[in-house]
Each structure stands twice: as C-alpha cells, then as structure tokens.
Amino acid sequence: MTNERISRIPAPVVPGISDSTRVAAGELVFISGQVGFEEDGSVPTDFKRAIELTYGEFERALHAAGVTYDDLVRVNVYITELDQEKLFTWRETRNGIIKTTTPSASTVIGVHSLYNGATIEIDGIAAAR
C-alpha cells in the first residue's frame, strides 16, 4: 500500500534507489539506530546474518510506531569496514527483505565502529499515515 503523502523521484544513474523524497505536511516518525544481535547478545559472525537481524529490529521499531517500509522517506545504513563485498552483500540481503516498489532516499556510510561491536546499524524517518 502506498503512502499518499510521499513522492519519490527515482535516481537516474543508480537503479533501485530514490534520488529525493518529498513529504506532504503531517506527522513524521524517527527510528533511532537499530542493531541486531544473537539471542545471547553476541555479535553475529556472519555479515548476512547481522544484516537480517538488524533489519528485523528495524522492522520491529517501524511496526511499533505504526509504520512500514512503504512509509519510509529516509534511511541511513552504517557499516563497519565497508568495502565492495560488504556493499554487495548488504544490497542483496536488503533486497530480499524489503519488498517495496518505491524505495526511500538512503545513504550507506562506512564507519570505524558501532555500538557493542555491531557491524551494521540502521536508522530512518517515516511519514505516518
């Protein structure tokens, strides 16, 4: 279901992302940085598993606020020791998790470290309906 408050302009060069996003007046939801850990609190040793757990936490936070991936207008993804292999793994895994035809504006940022040794963190802004 599309959110009528959101207008997305696809990126002309990079497929699958929005170049910019416009939101009509109304409530916004700010999702703080989410990280995913194993049930015992440890950092997943497999990066794909870390991505899946982190998106699980991100989706939990979205639903708790009454919004979905379709309502996102901006997402920031922070990845430690970012290289082309990690970027590819993130894109492939994210594309398998997020099923939306109109992606939000987003940025992937390589960082030195994250909370408690996590390898990926996601925050975002959504437009409430």
Is residue 87 domain-resident? yes
Per residue in 5-63, pLDDT (tens digit) is: 788 777 776 676 666 777 887 899 999 999 999 999 999 999 999 999 999 999 999 99
Is residue 15 domain-resident? no
Band of residue 1 on the pLDDT scale cut at 50, 70, 90:
low
The CATH number of whichever domain residue 53 belongs to comes to 3.30.1330.40
Contact indicator for 73, 105 with CB cutoff of 8 Å: yes
Number of domains in the chain: 1
Q: Which residues contact residue 73 at a Cβ distance below 8 angstroms, ignoring those fewer than 6 apart?
A: 6, 21, 23, 28, 104, 105, 125, 126, 127
Mean pLDDT along residues 96-125: 93
Is residue 60 domain-resident? yes
Chain-centre distance for alpha carbon 13 = 20
Q: Which comes out higher in pLDDT, residue 25 or 123?
A: 123
Is residue 61 domain-resident? yes
Is residue 122 domain-resident? yes
Alpha carbon distance 80, 112 (integer Å): 6
Is residue 21 domain-resident? no
Is residue 52 domain-resident? yes
